[in-house]
Amino acid sequence: MTVALWCILIALFLPPLCALIAKLASGRFGMGANRDPRAFLDTLSGLPRRAHAAQQNGYEAFPAFAAAVLVADLVGNAEQVTQDVLAVMYITSRLLYIICYLADWAAMRSLVWFIGLALIVSFFVVSV
C-alpha cells in the first residue's frame, strides 16, 4: 500500500482526535459526554468548542481528500512519489489547521485551510 493511501487512514482518525481533545479539555469528560455526545459537544465553549469545530471540519474535508487520492491512484498518470508527497503535505496541513483552530488563530487557520484545499485540487491536476 502506498503512503498516499495510508494518509487516507490517518486523515480518518484526525476528527476523532479532535473530539477527544474537546472532551478532555472540557474537564467534564465522562459526565454524560458519551451518553449524548452531540448534545454534550454543543454545550462547550472556548478551546473545547474549537476542538469540536475542528472535528466537524475534519469530517467535512475527509471525503474530498479520500476521493482525490483514490482518483490519482486509479488514473495512474501521476508519479507515485508526487501522490505521496501531496498526501503527506495534506496531512501536515490538517495538523496545522487543528493547531491553528485550537490556538484561536483564525486568519492563519483560514490560510491553512485554503492550502489544504489547493493540495486536494493538486491531486486532480497532476493526474491529467
42-95 pLDDT, tens digit per residue, is 888 999 999 999 999 999 999 999 999 999 999 989 999 999 999 999 999 999
With a CB cutoff of 8 Å and minimum separation 6, the contacts of 3 are 83, 84, 87, 88
Instruction: Provide the pLDDT for residue 41.
Output: 78
Name the E strands within the chain.
Answer: none
Task: Look up the pTM and report it.
Answer: 0.92
- Cα angle, residue 103 at apex, residues 66 and 115 outer, rounded to 5°: 35
Domain count, the chain: 1
Query: 70 lies in which domain range?
Result: 3-126
Domain harbouring 76, CATH code: 1.20.120.550
Which H helix or E strand runs over 121? helix 106-126
What pLDDT band is residue 127 in, cutting at 50, 70 and 90? very high
